[in-house]
């Protein structure tokens, strides 16, 4: 599928780079007249897989508008808009700037019998079973759809990734590269499909010499000769692009996603001893052992603050539970053959912390929530201050995973800190400061994995994916004691459209027994990585063997999960349905089937037509539990392979490999 070599795709990319106005700026209620220069190559800004360009325009009153492009060899185009006030006076009022517009030729006459297009997108994350639910909407001639954030975390209502299927085997994917507020409007005209992206509810003036960077956009046109209603080819092309060029790498190679053992932060040494003894005794070869929230003392206390959420900010391991220092626990994990990870929510601090008292000027405070202060990440000095608070812990532990959370909506802080004539600027400067923080941190710790939690997937936009990976969860739904695995299965189905590498967790990190011997629950959470509650009681031989098999199974599954994704059933979170998907490498040589028969699903078997295989080749199929199933031709598997699950609430994982 050479999408970037197709005429439709080339023409759209060329128009976006050279002809179309990349943005629209309204100043004092008038659309600014912008005459953009031809794209100017900037080889000094080239990076892996892309050429850099820039275009510029200047308004009559001296507002400079610079558009910075990355034209990926893969056939994608990224751009961001920088506004700079070159005049000697305050600018006019800039309202709801449109940071991107994509207009694609889409004549209905070329697709008789179709007559309409579709927008394929997903629900965001809100700690529910229906997080990441696919939402596919028809766009008939003369109609439009409006989507926007509800707060200031960019993926908590809708996922800012959109596939505009034009209905004739062509379309374009657009992804908003921004972690805060956005608005998107999708139109279907008679001869065109249009998408407009706005930084909404903004109205600000720039001071003389002041600059601000607007949200960015990524556009990937596509065309396929094997069109299917689920648009699997286009989604898989996007997944490949994200995996290769967007998601973080170590020494130029894809991360080997970790299996983690999870413990709560407020646990004494004896609690860690029994967990790590279980890991050693039963050879539970996880990649990293670590602690979630609650490990820190506040102020001058020696004990952990009793409420994890209200005690953040000083980032000082509580001596009461770490009498030998946090490095001792890290050394214990490493002696057991594992790395070490820790949870942080470094973007906020409680008002009573020493950190705030020492430098109150580095924090944004709220009259509505006076207990919590937000770090002013727009300030380079504040970023340096926070990084220097974190570095001693990172250095002492040598952690391999830095887990970040973001459990509050910062919108009220942004609103309170905006001047009346500068609405929206605090947020713009904050999030651009967040990205700068990651750049600064990764320059010091290039091998550390940043685990993107953010309240469970609420900032999983494409820009965040450049720095961080959801290693242990993409939704906080699993935190509920009574969560249903069917919801987690639905999360995997939905998020797999877009994100090739992600993980999930099973069970409370306090180490409760609810997951023991529940293979169905664990397999529901298997993706590129998984977090398992480290067992907090002396394991029996049977339980130790079960844990070891789950980890061994995860090792087999993980390498396939970032490959091409093919849904084998519709999305469904009810307990009366099956759900299944297939992964397959780009050449059709290897992959897997994951199938789940839910508790009240009456069918004991289902037949699935496999995709992406070579019809001329022979494949060996192996059940992860029972062993080899036989040899089948690619042609036969494409016609249908029957998966049998005799007992409800069970799962099967079947690997396939081409025979040379």
Q: What pLDDT digit, counting tens, does each position of 146-165 carry?
A: 999 989 999 999 999 999 99
- Mean local confidence (pLDDT), 496-509: 91
- Please give the Cα distance from 210 to 467 (Å, whole number): 27
Q: What pLDDT digit, counting tens, does each position of 235-279 carry?
A: 999 999 999 999 998 777 777 789 999 999 999 999 999 999 999
Model confidence at 111, in pLDDT bands (50, 70, 90)? very low
pLDDT above 90 as % of the chain: 90
Cβ of 563: how many Cβ atoms within 10 Å? 21
Q: Which pLDDT does position 515 carry in this prediction?
A: 67
Which residue ranges does the chain devote to CATH 2.70.98.60? 3-246
Query: Counting beta carbons within 10 angstroms of the beta carbon of residue 297, is it exposed (0 to 12), middle (13 to 18) or buried (19 or more)?
Result: buried
Q: Which CATH superfamily is domain 564-659 in?
A: Golgi alpha-mannosidase II (2.60.40.1180)
- Please give the Cα distance from 202 to 424 (Å, whole number): 5
Q: Which pLDDT does position 510 carry in this prediction?
A: 60
Q: Which pLDDT does position 254 carry in this prediction?
A: 76
DSSP letter at 469 equals B
Model confidence at 115, in pLDDT bands (50, 70, 90)? low
**Looking at the predicted structure, is the pLDDT value of residue 501 above 50?**
yes
Q: Which pLDDT does position 127 carry in this prediction?
A: 92
Model confidence at 371, in pLDDT bands (50, 70, 90)? very high
- Please give the Cα distance from 437 to 383 (Å, whole number): 6
Distances (CA, A) of 136 to 140, 182, 306, 565: 13, 20, 45, 18
Containing 10, the helix (H) or strand (E) segment is: helix 7-14
Model confidence at 114, in pLDDT bands (50, 70, 90)? low
Model confidence at 533, in pLDDT bands (50, 70, 90)? very high
Model confidence at 517, in pLDDT bands (50, 70, 90)? confident
- Mean local confidence (pLDDT), 493-513: 85
Q: Which pLDDT does position 112 carry in this prediction?
A: 44
**Looking at the predicted structure, is the pLDDT value of residue 49 above 70?**
yes
- Chain-centre distance of CA 235, in angstroms? 15
**Looking at the predicted structure, is the pLDDT value of residue 512 above 90?**
no
Containing 404, the helix (H) or strand (E) segment is: strand 401-404
User: Of 407, 274, 257, whose CA–CA distance to 339 is shortest?
Assistant: 257
Residues 6 or more apart whose CB falls under 8 angstroms from that of 375 comprise 346, 347, 348, 349, 362, 363, 364, 382, 383, 386
Of 348-362, 504-518, 561-575, 624-638, least confident by mean pLDDT is 504-518
* CATH number for the domain whose boundaries are 249-560: 3.20.20.70
Residues pairing with 622 in the sheet? 628, 655
Containing 391, the helix (H) or strand (E) segment is: helix 380-397
**Looking at the predicted structure, is the pLDDT value of residue 419 above 50?**
yes
Q: Which class would CATH give 3-246? A: mainly beta
Kindly give the pairing relationship between strand 578-584 and strand 590-597: antiparallel
User: Of 447, 566, 456, 436, whose CA–CA distance to 502 is shortest?
Assistant: 456
Which residue ranges does the chain devote to CATH 3.20.20.70? 249-560
Taken as a whole, the chain contains a residue count of 660
- Please give the Cα distance from 373 to 310 (Å, whole number): 11
Q: Which pLDDT does position 4 carry in this prediction?
A: 54
Distances (CA, A) of 8 to 111, 186, 238, 289, 396: 15, 19, 17, 49, 54
Q: Which pLDDT does position 1 carry in this prediction?
A: 44
Which residue ranges does the chain devote to CATH 2.60.40.1180? 564-659
């Amino acid at each position: 599928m050479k999408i970037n070599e197709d005429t439709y795709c080339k023409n759209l990319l060329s128009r976006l780079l050279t002809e179309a106005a990349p943005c629209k700026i309204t100043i004092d209620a008038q659309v600014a007249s912008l005459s953009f220069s031809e794209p100017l190559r900037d080889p000094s800004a080239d990076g892996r897989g892309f050429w850099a360009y820039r275009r510029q325009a200047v308004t009559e009153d001296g507002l400079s508008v610079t558009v910075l492009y990355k034209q990926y060899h893969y056939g994608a185009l990224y751009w961001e808009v920088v506004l700079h006030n070159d005049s000697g006076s305050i600018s006019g009022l800039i309202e709801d700037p449109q940071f991107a517009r994509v207009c694609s030729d889409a004549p209905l006459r070329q697709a008789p019998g179709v007559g309409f297009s579709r927008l394929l997108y997903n629900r965001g994350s809100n700690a529910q079973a229906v997080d990441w639910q696919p939402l596919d909407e028809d766009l008939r001639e003369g109609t439009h759809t409006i989507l926007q954030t509800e707060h200031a975390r960019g993926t908590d209502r809708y996922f800012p990734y959109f596939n505009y299927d034009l209905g004739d085997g062509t379309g374009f994917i657009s992804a908003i590269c921004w972690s805060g507020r956005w608005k998107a409007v999708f139109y279907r005209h008679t001869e065109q499909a249009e998408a407009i992206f706005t930084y909404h509810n903004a109205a600000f003036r720039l001071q003389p010499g002041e600059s601000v960077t607007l949200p960015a956009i990524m556009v990937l046109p596509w065309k396929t000769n094997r069109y299917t209603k689920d648009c699997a080819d286009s989604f898989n092309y996007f997944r490949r692009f994200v995996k290769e060029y967007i998601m973080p790498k170590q020494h130029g190679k894809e991360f080997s996603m970790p299996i983690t053992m999870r413990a709560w932060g407020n646990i004494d040494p004896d609690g860690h001893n029994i967990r790590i003894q279980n890991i050693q005794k039963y050879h539970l070869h996880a990649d990293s052992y670590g602690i979630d929230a609650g490990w820190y003392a506040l102020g001058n206390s020696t004990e952990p603050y009793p409420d994890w959420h209200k005690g953040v900010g000083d980032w000082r391991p509580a001596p009461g539970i770490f009498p030998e220092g946090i490095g001792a626990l890290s050394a214990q994990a490493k002696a057991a053959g594992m790395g070490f990870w820790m949870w942080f929510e470094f973007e906020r601090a409680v008002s009573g912390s020493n950190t705030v008292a020492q430098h109150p000027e580095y924090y944004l405070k709220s009259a509505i929530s006076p207990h919590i202060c937000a770090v002013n990440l727009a300030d380079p000095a504040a970023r340096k201050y926070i990084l220097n608070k974190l570095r001693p812990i990172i250095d002492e532990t040598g952690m391999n995973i830095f887990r970040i959370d973001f459990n509050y909506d910062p919108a009220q802080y942004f609103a309170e800190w905006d001047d009346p004539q500068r609405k929206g600027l605090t947020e713009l400067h904050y999030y651009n400061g967040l990205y700068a923080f990651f750049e600064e941190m990764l320059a010091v710790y290039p091998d550390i994995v940043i685990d993107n939690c953010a309240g469970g997937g609420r900032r999983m936009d494409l820009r965040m994916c450049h720095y961080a990976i959801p290693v242990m969860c993409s939704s906080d739904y699993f935190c509920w004691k009574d969560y249903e695995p069917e919801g987690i299965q639905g999360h995997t189905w939905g998020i797999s459209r877009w994100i090739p590498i992600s993980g999930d967790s099973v069970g409370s990190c306090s180490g409760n027994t609810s997951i023991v011997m529940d293979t169905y629950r664990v397999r529901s959470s298997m993706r590129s990585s998984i977090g398992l509650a480290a067992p907090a009681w002396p394991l029996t031989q049977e339980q130790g063997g079960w844990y070891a098999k789950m980890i061994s199974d995860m090792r087999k599954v993980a390498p396939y999960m970032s490959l091409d994704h093919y849904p084998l059933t519709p999305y469904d979170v009810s307990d009366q349905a099956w759900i299944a998907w297939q992964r397959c490498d780009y050449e059709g040589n290897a992959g897997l089937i994951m199938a789940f028969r839910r508790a009240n699903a009456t069918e004991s078997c289902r037949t699935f037509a496999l995709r992406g295989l070579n019809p001329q080749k022979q494949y060996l199929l192996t059940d992860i539990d029972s062993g080899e199933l036989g040899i089948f031709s690619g042609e036969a598997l494409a016609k249908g392979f029957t998966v049998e699950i005799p007992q409800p609430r069970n799962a099967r994982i079947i690997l396939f490999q081409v025979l040379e």
